[in-house]
Every structure is written in C-alpha cells, then in structure tokens.
Amino acid sequence: MNSIRETFKGRDLLSLHDFTPQQIAFMLDYAAELKQMQKQGEPHALLQGQTLGMIFQKSSTRTRVSFEVGMYQLGGHALFLSSNDIQLGRGESIADTGRVLGRYVDGIMIRTFAQSDVEELAEYAPVPVINGLTDLLHPCQILADLLTIKEHKGRLAGLKLAYVGDGNNICHSLLYGCAKTGLNISVASPEGYLPREEIVAAARQDARETGASITITTNPEEAVTGADVLVTDVWASMGQESEQQARVKVFAPYQINARLAALAAPDYIFLHCLPAHRGEEVAAEIIDGPHAVVFDEAENRLHAQKAVMALLMVK
C-alpha cells in the first residue's frame, strides 16, 4: 500500500490517462478515507504549512471553493490568482510563470483553455501541477464522478455509464476514467460533436487492461439503454457562448428527460458537473428527481481533490 502511495509524490495530474488503474483506484479509496475523516471530525493536516497557487483563466464556483476549502482542511493555504493578478497572458511566458511560482508555492492548480499550456507549466514548474480544467480534459471532475458512482453503486467495474451530449472535456475525461476503472461507457453525441478520435483511441488502449467497453454513437437511445449511470453536460461550454443558439437546435434530441431515462436501468443515477441548464441538456424532472446525485457529486469535488493534493504534494 505504501509503495503505491510513494508513486504519487511530486507528480503532476494532467490527465487520468497518465495513471494506472491501480493508482486511480488508490486515489478514489484515499478520497473516501479523507471524506470519512472529515465527517468524523478527525484532524488530517497532511499539508500543514504548504501553499497551493490557484491560477484561474476561467472562472468557476466549485473548482475555486473546493480547492480552497480542501487546502484549509489539509492544514495548508490556497492562493487565488486570476488573470488580473499575474502576468500570464500579458507577456510573461508560461515557462517563466512556472519557474517563478514554483519557488513560492508547494503546488499549482491551473484552470485554463489549452491543455498544452498546462503541460508546459508542468514541464517548468518544480512543484506538482494539477489540471483544474482545460478545453480538452477535466480529470478532477471525473475523479469526483467516479467516487460518487462508487458510493451509490458500491462498485465501478461492470457497470454501464451513458454520456449524452457534447464530446467535450468532460466526455474525454470520462472516457479515460471509465476505461481505467472497468466501467463500460457509451457516448452519444451529434455528428460534428463527437469526442476526439485520439482520445477515444487512447481510452480504448486503457480499456484493454480492465475489460471496459467503449461505444461511440450518435443515437442517444442506444447509449442510455440499460445504463446504470446517466451523465450530461451543458451544450455550450465556457468560451462557446456565441454558438449557443446553433447548439440548442443540434442538441435538442440529446436532452436527458423522462422519455430517454425510461430506457436506463430502473435504479439508474444521474450525474451533472454543474452548472446545469434545466430545459436544455437535462429536464428539471430528472435533475430535481429521485435519481439525481448531482450534489453528492459536487461535494465529492472537495474530497477527490484533497486526495489528489495530499498524494502529490506531501513531502
């Protein structure tokens, strides 16, 4: 057990694809352990005296609050750095930003646009870098999703997860997360909005080790039939606001509503990373209904990220 813990020290979390199935299982178990300790009031100041620098080039409620509160609960401190607070994007290179920040803080979380920017930051920063979201991937969200599914279903391997909607960063990281944990995934997206082929190919490579199946389709009914878990996301993500009206027309048949959910397993659970647009990607009767676990999922951002920070940043 200690040997696998040692493999995390000083590493970056850029993509779930970079971790083994055993490491991801360990992260989820550790998140559950930290959650229990927090609920029972047991002190766990694993990062006492440490500081996490948080770079936000995209705003977020859940990411900022969960990382900041998480660092506090771990005995450390979080430093919020918006685009107005640092020189990134105003002439200072990503490499220099990484070199400088890495001399002040013990870890960096970045929420930005390009995955390549996170990778470059990680290359030059001498401290662990955590991907808090890019246009390509959102690994921390999917760790929280997997933790939530495991809590409600008792396992991951062998279940069927259906993702219906845009083949975006959530979809990409779900492909990796499911493939790494043996969770069968079926993705339904409109033509032109399917997940990127290289991500699907890499996930299929991961799935060979766990036996997970990966299905990509344009048919939402096919994707959700018999599913234990239904997941969707907004139709227009941050930075795609100008496409909103066009996307509403394209994605209308992909709304998760009672008609579509009736095809899922009777005891399915519904996940959404939030913020949600009721009446667009999900009907109110689903997200406010008895199968929804979206607020457990939101809470688990805190516990999953605490596990990530404690494993990567511990000295």
Q: Write out pLDDT tens, residues 33-85.
A: 999 999 999 999 999 999 999 999 988 899 999 999 999 999 999 999 987 77
CA-to-CA separations, 293 to 27, 115, 150, 192, 231, in angstroms, rounded = 21, 29, 12, 30, 11
Q: How confident is the model at residue 194 (pLDDT cuts 50, 70, 90)?
A: very high
- 56 near 80, Cβ under 8 Å? yes
Indicate the range of 184-188, 245-249, 278-282 predicted with least confidence: 245-249
pTM beyond cutoff 0.75? yes
Q: Is 60 annotated as a binding residue?
A: yes
How far is it, in rounded angstroms, from Cα 197 to Cα 200?
Answer: 5
Main-chain phi, psi angles of 60, to 5 degrees: -170, 140
Half-sphere exposure of 26 (CA within 13 A, CB side): 17
What phi, psi does 176 have (nearest 5°)?
-65, -45
pLDDT at 312 over 90: yes
CATH fit for domain 1-137+300-313, picks 3.40.50.1370, 3.40.1280.10, 3.30.360.10, 3.40.190.10: 3.40.50.1370
Pairwise pLDDT comparison (92 vs 32), residue with the higher score: 32
Tokens 């339904």, located at residue: 188
Residue type, 72: Y
Q: Is the pLDDT of residue 89 over 70?
A: no
Q: Provide DSSP, 165-203.
A: S--SHHHHHHHHHHHHHT-EEEEE--TT-SPPHHHHHHH
Mean pLDDT of the chain: 96
Ligand-binding annotation for 34, yes or no, is no
SS3 category, 97: helix
140 assigned ligand-binding residue: yes
Check pLDDT > 80 for residue 91: no
- Enumerate the β-bridge partners of residue 13: 130
Residue 2 has pLDDT above 80, yes or no: no
Distance, in Å, from the CA atom of 59 to the CA atom of 277, rounded to the nearest integer, reads 17
Using CA atoms, how far residue 73 sits from 28, 34, 35, 46, in Å, is: 18, 10, 11, 9
Binding site annotation covers 273? Answer: yes
Residue 274 marked ligand-binding: yes
The CATH code for residues 141-297 is: 3.40.50.1370
CB 283 within 8 A of CB 258: yes
Mean pLDDT of 165-190: 98
Task: Judge whether residue 285 has pLDDT over 80.
Answer: yes
> Mean of the pLDDT values across residues 272-283?
96
Q: Which residues are catalytic?
A: 111, 138, 141, 233, 273, 301
The predicted-structure confidence for 210-241, as pLDDT tens digits, reads as follows 999 999 999 999 999 999 999 999 998 777 77
Residue 304 tokens read as 């999953």
CATH 3.40.50.1370 intervals, the chain: 1-137+300-313, 141-297
What percent of the chain has pLDDT above 90?
A: 90
Whether pLDDT at 190 is above 70: yes
